[in-house]
Amino acid sequence: MTKRAAAGWVLVSFQYYLTCIVCWTAQANGFSAPKPTFSTIQTTPFQKRHNNNHGGLDTTALSSSAVDSNNVADIQNKDSDCSESKEKNNNNGVGDDGVEWLATDFMKPRLDDREYRSIRLPHNGLECLLVSDGRTDVESAAVHVKAGHFDDPVDRAGLAHFHEHMLFLGTAKYPDEQEYESYLGSHGGSSNAYTDMQDTNYFFSLAAPLIEDTIETDDDNDNDDDDDDQSQSKSDDAMSTVSESLHGALDRFSQFFIKPNFNVGMMEREMQAVDSEYKNSITSDSWRMYQTLKSSANPKHPFSKFGCGNYQTLSDKPMPQDDLFQFWNKHYRGDNMKLCVVGRASLDALQKSVVETFGHLPSRQEELVVVDGKVETKQITVNDNVTNGSVQEKKNREKETIEENPALFVQEHSKYDGIAAFGTEQLGKIRETIPVVEARSIILYFATPPMDDPAITHTRPYHVISHILGHESPGSLHALLLQEGLINDLCSGVGVDTSDFSLCNLSLSMTPKGMANKQQVLDLVWQYIALIKNTMITDDDNDRMAKYHDEMRDISRTNFEWRENGDPTDFCSNAAELLFDYPPHKILIASSQSDPYNDVIAKQFFERFSPDNCIISIVQPETDMDDNVKSEDSTTTTTTTTDDKNGPWQTEPWYGAKYREVNISDELKEKWSNPDQKIDERLSLPQLNDFITTDFSLRSEDEKIVVDKGEDDVDYREIPPKLLSLENNMAGLTMWHKLDQTFKVPKSYIRLQITSPNAYRSPRSMTYARLFQKVLEDDLNSYVYDATVAGCYYKVFCTPSGFRINISGFSEKLPLLLDVVVSRVMSIIQEMKEENHAENSPLSLKFDKAVENLLRETKNFRMDSPYETATYLTRMLLEDNVWHVDNYITEMEGEYFDKNPLTLQECASVVDECLSERTLVQSLCMGNIDEDGVLGVAKVIEERFLSRSRPLTPEEFPRLRSLKTPTREEAIQIFGQDVASSPIPIVVEDVASSESEENHAVEVVLQAGAEYDLGFEGTAIIELIGHIAYNSAFNQLRTKEQLGYIVSAYIKKSAGGVSSLGVVVQSASTLPDVLEERVLNWLDIFRSELEEITPERYAMEAEAIVAQLLERNMRLSDEVASSWGEILSTDPSSKRFKDPQFTRVKTIAQVLTVDEPGEGSGSDVSDIKTSADLKKKVLNFYDKYFTRDAPQRRIMSSRVYGYSARSNYEANKEKVGILSNYDDTRELKRFLSVWPSAPYWI
């Protein structure tokens, strides 16, 4: 319901097995497992700075040999004088309060109307970026500390991570361990943190309150005479004040860095939490591959450390309180941290609040000590010559290093006594690793200089090199390998980036055919690298490479110029980190700015792409190795790529990955280093991009539109999309349109939903729909790759209700992209129908590969973590007419598949039925597109999809519904009296498929009802309960009882709009039935807590939800997503349910809006008027649906046992009320009734 989900964990996404150890935390802390790209949720810190894009827009490059030192000095100092001059002009001196203004004039995108100021606090030297945004509905702050797990003591692995955990558990001023999170939660906020290699980042967000909820300040903003157009219609009163919620959050947050407690009584518990977190990752291939890479580094370099830590590494020595204080005193200094704050208030008001909170950070002459069990501040003597982390001092150090070492890349191996993480002993290797799930990949890691080396920072050679390596146009390495059916995907980028080295990756997701022919694949990789190098050498005037570079610069400039303000929390987290790397006034543009192409640096960087300087990581199932299948070029799986045949198998000590490693043979090094005479003639460098946008005109500024706009003070955010009247009454099509007059960006969004009853009518039809999606994506790569690089995107994907097509990007090229995509959708169907499945035909290869990949992905689903499996089991029981994963596998392998194989022709027929026989099409066009443009889109839809289609009747419209979990009485009717005494009469059980899976999990779900039954009031009440429940469950089940790292309580939505209270727990130490008991106990505790909460507190919690619900869209894409979501919730075949309710969220917010004191505002859909009314409604709701003796309690549980507890699972089979397989679940569903699917707003 809320726009920012309050998940109990955050999963980190990696491109294939990109390598950065990161700790993302919700509700205080965490070090959660990275996930492969098929489960993308978050990105890692190094990906924020160097995105590993599909085609390599922001990726890595390499370098090595020395060049003329005079040229190097010129290159490296070229930009520094200009930057220093700019900084001097920006420096406004020191104010009466001692605060130094570092910058006030920032290089901003044209759409950015925020105000910025960079300051340095007196006493502690903390540098802070202040951001005043009068329109923001989210206020946020972040602190970035230049210390991470590289700084762990040798004998205390994981200390930095553990230290991050402990900071959340109470401070001298706020000793209650729940104070910080409870405060944020009550103001619609949340917090997160991550521990990286050399960094730790803490951040929080909260809902900006009403204007009157502010703290008065005595200061006026000295910049109030800026352009009136940038005033954003801010209230003068609001601009001179800081909200109480933000000031209170900053006060609590700052105490982390002023006087933490590091309470000994909490350390045992938190070490167990770290251990639980570690065990959650043991079966993650991403973590396994990463730690294997780390373990292969030079053991004298900190990259080789075990960063997560576990109970063993943290508890081997006496209780680590002394180590924590030493770590804090050494690294948590004002001059080793950066702060960023975004708020509604003026810059002066924000500055005052920061001074009053973070101004109390200790100076470098102070440290914390424990005296008689209390934390005290002690004066110390320090070396005043120690430099801090300012950008200027960084430049001075760089200058000194250049003078001492005239090599090109001066920061490479400049730390840790010059020890290289990957030197000659660690490079030139081939490593084979066996994954947990079925996966095949080849990753080439190249040792390269750090990305913030002066030579690289200014010229960014990795941009152009990665762009070419990852290109997907005809003639590229990607296109050739894809055409041959050897890979599924290819990407290049920066995999690891530290202060003294980086690793550049070329990652290939392999097909079984490709893995059987890995020698051929690697040969082509090295040939393509040689082709790029040869072009660099023979391109005497640097024209071709310079054009690629300029193309990347143009795209970056365009993206920066039209960049919209993003989420304040993400901004703060990133900006605090970037303050270490760039002058403050440049941090907004830094990642988008580069100097002209420099052939010297680019050539030296790319020289690092050599067999001697790389590690080739081969990931494949053990069955592939055992088969020892001969490839088409008559080479075995591994023996031809090693000089010692196969090395001995080893086990990585922390995560247990099984691997073996050998040297690349001299023969192969010679072959791959000099493939000039054998470069495949099908390989070529890409052409320049024809999709780059040049027309940025805005339709909202067209003369006719300006005349029609009328009043100037209209809030266009409040105007919903309108339904267009179409020519010829295009049957089966509804077109919604809204011209953007708010965000003023030259971008458009086109959304299509093609609803069909055929897509999900059987497991076979859904399998074909998914296969078509893969074949189409494979086929379109070369058609649309340039468009995606230039900022235009497409996605065609299937859902149970049909197909969706998304087109978005800069408006100028969007009609062309729409035409290409839609035309190809229909033409490829015809080609598939005519295909005779001739061996090795392009479409046959694509289809066969799609079947292989879909089967692998579907089977790997069984290897999901236990808590994910538990939620799946719940869905299989609660939702009507759903297909089980085994149904899909049966369609793709086994006896039935052998009798009825999947064919191109049948696939084409099924998809053709879905797209052009019985359909209803809904479309939304928003952004920089006028009505004429929308009618053009409608014409394309009519020609491609509606010319042969009959509109769906209401009976044919696909409707997904949920089943009612039995009440106790209903369960007794089904199972008999044996379940009468069970607190949960229906339990679904399964056991982990992976032998290495140690974790158990449980999901307990209590149904409340369908949307129609709950209405606006019930929907609002359950949202409030879920909001309060999250913190309560986390505190009780994780913090106090230490059941496991993954703990969350939430409102669960199932098909047809049914709302439930869900609780999930995953644990390596506690069996599912015990977890279940603890969840039931918490439900009782939570009921008591709800009783104890005062009406005033209920009003505050409700206000936090209201603030989140009414949070305004930050970007055009946000508005598109919310509008499209409302449109998709309708039934266009029904007269009653066909109209979107664009004001639905506001009505829910109105239900939760109460006034104190007095009778409150009330609403048309609820009789709640006061906070006392609200409390009464919550308790009545809870007692009706969730308490143990509630007559309407509909509760079920899904248990998943770790592999070692299989005997417990087996012992429960055949027990009454226990469903041990899907056959049991299927039989029970025949007894269950269906919830109504009508929406609650009718």
Alpha carbon distance, N-terminus to C-terminus of the chain: 19
- Which amino acid belongs to residue 217? T
Hey, CA dihedral for 993, 996, 1000, 1005, is it positive or negative?
A: negative
The Cα–Cα gap between 566 and 573 comes to 12
Strand 658-663 with 429-434, pairing: antiparallel
Q: Is 224 left (phi over 0), alpha (psi -120 to 50) or beta?
A: alpha
Helices and strands, counts by H and E, the chain: 41, 34
Burial class (CB in 10 A: 0-12, 13-18, 19+), 653: exposed
Beta carbons within 8 Å of 744's beta carbon, 6+ residues apart: 111, 698, 700
Q: Which residue(s) pair with 120 in the sheet?
A: 100, 127
Token digits of residue 76: 């490296």
Beta carbons within 8 Å of 85's beta carbon, 6+ residues apart: none
Label residues 69-86 b or e (16+ Cβ within 10 Å = b). Answer: eeebeebbeebeeebeeb
The Cα–Cα gap between 885 and 852 comes to 16
> Which among 1146, 1168, 1164, 1165 has a CA at the least distance from the CA of 1155?
1168
The Cα–Cα gap between 508 and 531 comes to 19
**Helices of type H across 316-383:** 321-331, 347-357
The Cα–Cα gap between 420 and 499 comes to 12
Residue 506, number of CB atoms within 10 A of its CB: 27
**What strands, in cross-sheet order, belong to the sheet with 200-207?**
93-94, 100-103, 115-120, 127-132, 337-343, 138-145, 200-207, 190-195
Residue 845, number of CB atoms within 10 A of its CB: 20
Query: Which helix (H) or strand (E) segment is 806 a member of?
Result: strand 802-810
What predicted TM-score, i.e. pTM, was given to this entire model? 0.87
Burial class (CB in 10 A: 0-12, 13-18, 19+), 147: buried
The Cα–Cα gap between 491 and 59 comes to 9
- HEC readout, 947-986: CCCEECCCCCCCCCCEECCCCHHHHHHHHCHHHCCCCCCE
The Cα–Cα gap between 78 and 399 comes to 12
> Which among 1239, 1240, 1238, 1217 has a CA at the least distance from the CA of 1227?
1217
Alpha carbon 97 to chain centroid distance?
A: 41
DSSP tag of 580: T
Task: Give how far Cα 997 sits from Cα of 39, 306, 655, 982, Å.
Answer: 19, 20, 11, 29
The Cα–Cα gap between 1153 and 1102 comes to 7
The confidence score (pLDDT) of residue 710 equals 54
Strand 429-434 with 366-371, pairing: unpaired
The Cα–Cα gap between 1102 and 477 comes to 55
Token digits of residue 882: 């759903």
Task: Give how far Cα 511 sits from Cα of 38, 145, 241, 528, 625, Å.
Answer: 16, 42, 59, 20, 14
DSSP tag of 1014: H
The confidence score (pLDDT) of residue 58 equals 29
The Cα–Cα gap between 499 and 281 comes to 26
In the numeric block, the tokens 């200027």 are attached to 392
The Cα–Cα gap between 587 and 616 comes to 35
Token digits of residue 216: 């008065």
Label residues 336-363 b or e (16+ Cβ within 10 Å = b). Answer: bbbbbbbbbbbbbbbbbbbbbbbbbbbb
Half-sphere exposure at residue 791, Cβ-oriented, CA atoms within 13 angstroms: 25
Contact 52, 494 (CB under 8 A): yes
Contact 428, 612 (CB under 8 A): yes
Strand 614-619 with 441-448, pairing: antiparallel
Contact 849, 778 (CB under 8 A): yes
> From the first residue on, what is the mean pLDDT of each consecutive set of 10 residues in the chain (1242 residues)?
29 27 30 27 27 29 29 32 41 78 94 95 95 94 98 96 96 94 93 96 90 47 45 54 94 97 92 93 94 96 96 88 94 96 96 96 85 79 54 53 64 94 96 95 97 91 93 94 94 94 97 95 96 84 86 93 93 96 92 90 94 97 62 36 66 95 95 87 93 91 63 79 83 93 95 95 97 95 89 95 96 93 94 78 91 95 95 96 95 94 95 93 96 94 89 88 95 94 95 93 97 93 96 94 94 95 96 97 97 95 93 94 94 85 92 67 76 95 95 95 95 94 95 89 68
Beta carbons within 8 Å of 742's beta carbon, 6+ residues apart: 716, 717, 1116, 1119
The Cα–Cα gap between 104 and 222 comes to 11
Beta carbons within 8 Å of 854's beta carbon, 6+ residues apart: 767, 770, 771, 774, 892
Convert the pLDDT of each residue in 822-870 to its tens digit. 999 999 999 999 887 666 788 999 999 999 999 999 999 999 999 999 9
Contact 555, 701 (CB under 8 A): no
Half-sphere exposure at residue 360, Cβ-oriented, CA atoms within 13 angstroms: 16
Contact 131, 571 (CB under 8 A): yes
